[in-house]
Amino acid sequence: MNTTKKISYDDTRDCAIRIIDKLINLGLLDDNDDHYFDIQDTIQDEYNNLLGLDIDDNFEGIFTREKFARKCTITGQGMNEGWYCEGLDTYIKTEADAINFVNQHTYADLECAYNDEFIYYTEWDSEEEIQ
| Whether pLDDT at 39 is above 80 | yes
Pick the more confident residue, 93 or 68: 93
| Whether pLDDT at 17 is above 80 | yes
CA 124-93-71 angle, to 5 degrees, is 65
**What is the share, in percent, of the chain residues with pLDDT greater than 70?**
83
- Look at residue 33 in the predicted model and tell me its pLDDT: 66
- Look at residue 63 in the predicted model and tell me its pLDDT: 64
Measured in degrees and rounded to the nearest 5, phi and psi for residue 31 equal -70, -20
| Whether pLDDT at 131 is above 60 | no
Q: What is the pTM (predicted TM-score) of this model? A: 0.54
Pick the more confident residue, 56 or 20: 20
Query: pLDDT (tens digit, 9 = 90+) per residue, 71-112?
Result: 999 999 999 999 999 999 999 999 999 999 999 999 999 999
- Mean pLDDT (whole number) for 105-129: 89
